Amino acid sequence: MSIRKKLIIPILVLLTIGLASFSVHKFYVSVTQIDFIPEKKRIEVTARFFIDDLNNALENKYKAKFYLGSERETEIQKEQLKQYLSTHFSIHVNGKPKTMQFVQKEMEDDVLICYLKIIDISKINTLEVKNTLLFEVLPEQQHITHTKVLNIKKSILLTDDNPSELLKY
């Protein structure tokens, strides 16, 4: 892959963030990293969301105040987060749906980072990613998704108009 192609996604992301800072409207974006770890036969997922947007979406869905990422967070809210993620975020490997296991979460400034995994994956020919998180409250939400499968890196942009993408390896 040429240097030009390697630089295009980071440059576009920085340009978009820079332009968004001059905009009147807030920029709604999440970033997800999906890595295939062949020696462990698993896929590891790291998803980053702005906590206020995620809390708003959960409040809308469950009709209750949410405090994820704060000391007021409850066990019920953590379970509802897991349910929300499993409903709105899915991965198909080689055409078959796979169950993601929630590993843990942590806060970094105003971003909630969720770690998930899919086990018993020995080979990937295709990877279909679907992400409809936050679209019900933020139709302008964008999900930047980076994948690394057998040292092949690909990036996709998922939106309300295009919530899923099929990648071939």
Band of the pLDDT at 131, cuts 50, 70, 90?
very high
- pTM, two decimals, is 0.83
How distant, in Å, are the alpha carbons of 2, 82, 153 from that of 125? Answer: 23, 27, 14
Phi and psi angles of residue 43, each rounded to the nearest 5 degrees, phi first: -110, 130
- What's the pLDDT tens digit per position in 94-110? 999 999 999 999 999 99
